[in-house]
Structure 1
């Protein structure tokens, strides 16, 4: 039987109960000395002892918050013992000394944070010898080099958050000015954070789960110490609360996008960090809305099978899935999700807790263009998804094209990643234009974007994403992405392919749950009459309990439709998915225009399938915007 947690998640006590239900199962996986947690046998690019430290440290984001807010946990002594044995060079459970660019540095952020806000429960019980060992171990990273990335935050947090009583202060002064300057480099002009490797990644990890949270936590620390935040740092990004609101849908889901998705509800931790930092909320945001964004997201996660049979948070997203991970995801990595418990550090009379929970603000626009992440996000027709162009990964990352380079990302339908290179079933080709020069054996998809911008159509005021990418040196793709008009269930994609070679082009819609009421694969029958998945000349359509998804060729009707049953565990949300796709052929030396309309409507909460009106909406095809149509006809 799967491990389940029953919790309404409405109150402060409910949130504390949820945290304890995640901490309790860790006891049976904890070493005798408490310093090492072995939660699985899979590997990472760093050593096993660092992975076991990760299992120890990351739950501290939640435990420290619980203790700081006056809560209690019967198992806290496991971590007190662990600090003593893990930092003791003579212990069999010693975490090991710091080396240059050591994963141990990352884990110091949770440790430093917890030693500060929960020092009475964690630091004070340690012996003088244990305190000295722990200080020496933490201080060991000060002279070591680290990546010029958000890792600088981890050293900064560990150094600045040391217990003020009885703790040696390791001087960070020679590095402080440089590091604060680098922190600013990792923000856009208005303070919105991005992945420090370049300025072309903005996702949950670079914002909600790390940079935003650390900036807000530092703001609170400076306030508590009666200091001003560092002059050069932006706390927090002025646009951040505005932008973050658009990524959640009415059914409590956040749009999956980018790396580190296995941290799951850490994607919502920004809302708790806002409350913890006591920021002044910009209108129309209220504390009731902030509370709603966090708690609704956590409630949705409680409906997903993300726990192992003994209650351990697994690697994966909507279900256990190692295919979608990065090489830095150990079995303990997913406990970064515990950053979502930061509101437990707030007193019960904080407005976050005393305010009545509110839904998505009515004043929030249905469609919005966000210039820094180059996203156009919409909730039109009850489907929350984003159109994306311009983001890319500047370093090797597993499935980076799938995590950043797709044309669209959906809250209810998620996205797919390849499981191999042997054909369209292994491609994970949702929301992509995939090109093959070997008759479909292998495909290339958009990864490196040569140029991208948000344009506004003069005739309608609708924002459009315009971008270029090169599939090969002799093959260029230019793409326009057009969001739905008000209430529509369609978005439009227009591609100009200048092909220097003969190609097969496969374009996918969103992937959706590929089983019907009978728990069997969707039959090849008319989806407008019930569960089914079909592909015919010019279109493909599928319907299941998850909703309805389709794709149509608007311009030529020369492409053939096929309902691709993507290989198991391709999709982030569900292990078995079907993908409506249309496939065309391109002759070498030609320029081809494709105009594609993608239809999608998710199931309503608590109901099976899409609303009955979806069939009529499917039969009403959208039009290509006149400005783009004029370019096609030139």
Structure 2
């Protein structure tokens, strides 16, 4: 891959820097414009699940998140910004060879209407001043189609809201004709709210429990802020509600960004990349005053600009021609969704909406301030915080920036949905991995459980957790209780197995560590349907970049003293070190004091190992190793002699310590080893039917 001048060499400090970056991103698209400028097709043969015309419309429409704010910039000699005006005319003209087509139900064209509508709302005169009456009519008629076709009941409803606002405010359609539809859509969208400023992407329920970056920057919260900007004076009650939502949401959303600007990848549409920060851009545009520690526009400015700087140091996001590729830090089709065309990635330009603010605006004059965790005015900020609407515990610790997760899922047909929503932990330093096939190495099951009942021929990874809840846990030598997350998972519908897992963040007392306690219940098994190895359970830690600075793989070593990288495995633990940092896992089951029934634990064989994941499965590193522990539940003597008998119910308990320190933390190697050696001890019991966990 090649660096993109104007972006990868950009300091991202001033408005002019953002203009330069936007121009560089758009200039790479110039060779791929169609004759009438209504379509853009990047030089790639990959396809999305919708038709090619809609895919090429994506290429035209998504740059409109920034084009209107560059029309009067001196860089117009590099990029032909007027071509987007010509393209808008051709794309909405039914007589044009480049007409975008009539809409159908659930049509991708609805999505692309959002950026067109917001451009019209932000800069109506600049866009339509050269339109003839017929061209205005064409544009109006094409946009109005969104009201006559069915759409998903999720973030898409915001697209229709903005289209109807643009029809009224910019194209002269009577408000009475469209207000009922606007009101209905806003009422549905508001029903997605989960509290604390969060919204789910659709109704939270049995089919989906999703509260990810769509809830923050890609669509919903981002859209609420633009609604304040475009319609705040006409819908004061709702916009005040959205202002409060932004305040509540922003008060915790900053925790998803580390001190260097990296965001924790989680959920779907990771290829939208720096759209993670679009919320901060929209906060500035809406003029929202956030609560402490964000009660200075310089803090918001820093969150946005540091994130863009982090991406500027990732040149592999660009193809050789300067266009963005599908992937995260490098090109990767495994993580893509069925709705990702080569042009889809330009939704990242939502983060550049801040260019709506003119150069003399206070935002640009404000001094950029550090990450909230580094502000001297907020020394008492907790490093670990439960954020309940998304069922996350955010861990903003110096050693490692990550989140613990329980409770999210979707039954929608998103690729790698189990990996994107069902893992125990997600990290800004180590990313997460997505599957490329059914074998264990292809599943790349970092930070999750994998189970098999057929000797490892097939595997199930954690998905669709249920009964999520917060549990207080006791930690010795501290005056307070640590809040943990608990949830239950049933791997198979046809077998009565349930696994309840408690995730306990310990990094405030034991830096680098969190623990997982698994309660496995097995009921009414017919042994004739199972292999000799009754059940295999693999618990895995964070995936680590497996390459050395010289381009080789990290190798086995007996000790880490004086070594920069290596892999050390013994009977109970696995520790890996590379240029990316240090990760490890240890089976704590033998030294855990289980004050509960442990039926079946005597038949468990456990072994730590290093899993070599298939290449290109991790979002951040293309070659990774995963520290893991494998538990095999063996049949009892009675089950061996009477294979067809129904086994008695069993309950077994497992405990795992997971360790991680990011290389970016800059911690001395010996100090990291000392942290690894300070492994936690646990006491686990059941009180009134509820797990009680104490850390010794």
Q: TM-score, normalised by structure 1?
A: 0.94
Residues 113 and 143, structure 2, Cα contact 8 Å, conserved in 1: yes
Residues 22 and 352, structure 2, Cα contact 8 Å, conserved in 1: yes
Q: How many pairs does the alignment contain?
A: 629
Work out which of the residue numbers 542, 553, 556 in structure 2 matches 1:521: 553
C-alpha displacement at 1:180, in angstroms? 1.7
Superposition map of 1:211-230 within 5 A: 211-223=220-232, 228=236, 230=238
Q: State the 4+ residue runs in structure 1 displaced beyond 3 angstroms.
A: 65-74, 162-170, 229-236, 587-590, 609-612, 625-633
Aligned to 1:560: 607
Residues 589 and 654, structure 2, Cα contact 8 Å, conserved in 1: yes
Is 1:334 the counterpart of 2:345? The answer is yes
Work out which of the residue numbers 305, 309, 312 in structure 2 matches 1:302: 312
1:448-485 deviation line (CA, Å, top 9, x unaligned): 11210112225632110011010123110010000124
1:343-390 deviation line (CA, Å, top 9, x unaligned): 111122333222111112242320100011110011234211000000
Superposition map of 1:538-617 within 5 A: 538-556=572-590, 558-587=605-634, 590-604=650-664, 611-617=669-675
Is 1:391 the counterpart of 2:408? The answer is yes
C-alpha displacement at 1:234, in angstroms? 3.4
Instruction: Select between 553-562 and 255-264 the one with higher mean Cα deviation.
Output: 553-562
C-alpha displacement at 1:191, in angstroms? 3.7
Cα gap change, 1:440 to 1:341, in 2 (>3 Å): same
Aligned to 1:175: 181
Cα distance between partner residues in 2 of 1:156 and 1:183: 10
C-alpha displacement at 1:165, in angstroms? 5.3
Match of 2:94, SS state, is coil
C-alpha displacement at 1:119, in angstroms? 2.2
C-alpha displacement at 1:553, in angstroms? 0.5
Cα distance between partner residues in 1 of 2:75 and 2:190: 35
Greater Rg over alpha carbons, structure:
2
Cα gap change, 1:155 to 1:418, in 2 (>3 Å): same
Cα distance between partner residues in 2 of 1:354 and 1:202: 34
Residues 473 and 481, structure 2, Cα contact 8 Å, conserved in 1: yes
Residues 482 and 493, structure 1, Cα contact 8 Å, conserved in 2: yes
Q: Provide structure 1 residue ranges, at least 5 long, that are not aligned to the other structure.
A: none
Work out which of the residue numbers 252, 263, 270 in structure 1 matches 2:279: 270
Instruction: Select between 556-565 and 313-322 the one with higher mean Cα deviation.
Output: 556-565
Cα distance between partner residues in 2 of 1:208 and 1:173: 26
Match of 2:66, SS state, is helix
Cα gap change, 1:138 to 1:172, in 2 (>3 Å): same
Cα distance between partner residues in 1 of 2:383 and 2:692: 28
Superposition map of 1:86-105 within 5 A: 86-105=91-110
Residues 513 and 576, structure 1, Cα contact 8 Å, conserved in 2: yes
Work out which of the residue numbers 336, 355, 368 in structure 1 matches 2:366: 355
Cα gap change, 1:336 to 1:595, in 2 (>3 Å): same
Cα gap change, 1:215 to 1:166, in 2 (>3 Å): closer
Cα gap change, 1:470 to 1:232, in 2 (>3 Å): farther
Cα distance between partner residues in 2 of 1:385 and 1:167: 48
Cα distance between partner residues in 2 of 1:612 and 1:69: 53
Aligned to 2:149: 144
1:509-539 deviation line (CA, Å, top 9, x unaligned): 0001111132111112246233112332111
Superposition map of 1:152-163 within 5 A: 152-162=157-167
Cα gap change, 1:503 to 1:433, in 2 (>3 Å): same
Work out which of the residue numbers 507, 517, 541 in structure 2 matches 1:494: 517
Residues 524 and 533, structure 1, Cα contact 8 Å, conserved in 2: yes
Cα gap change, 1:341 to 1:229, in 2 (>3 Å): farther
C-alpha displacement at 1:190, in angstroms? 4.1
Cα distance between partner residues in 2 of 1:377 and 1:632: 20
Aligned to 1:439: 455
Residues 545 and 579, structure 2, Cα contact 8 Å, conserved in 1: yes
Aligned to 1:456: 472
Residues 421 and 441, structure 1, Cα contact 8 Å, conserved in 2: no
Cα gap change, 1:527 to 1:520, in 2 (>3 Å): farther
Is 1:376 the counterpart of 2:386? The answer is no
C-alpha displacement at 1:282, in angstroms? 1.0
Instruction: Select between 28-37 and 557-566 the one with higher mean Cα deviation.
Output: 557-566
Aligned to 2:489: 469
Superposition map of 1:59-208 within 5 A: 59-67=63-71, 74-162=79-167, 164=169, 167-169=172-174, 171-198=177-204, 200-208=209-217
Cα gap change, 1:65 to 1:202, in 2 (>3 Å): farther
Match of 2:9, SS state, is coil
Aligned to 2:20: 17
Work out which of the residue numbers 236, 241, 249 in structure 1 matches 2:250: 241
Residues 201 and 373, structure 1, Cα contact 8 Å, conserved in 2: yes
Cα gap change, 1:152 to 1:226, in 2 (>3 Å): closer
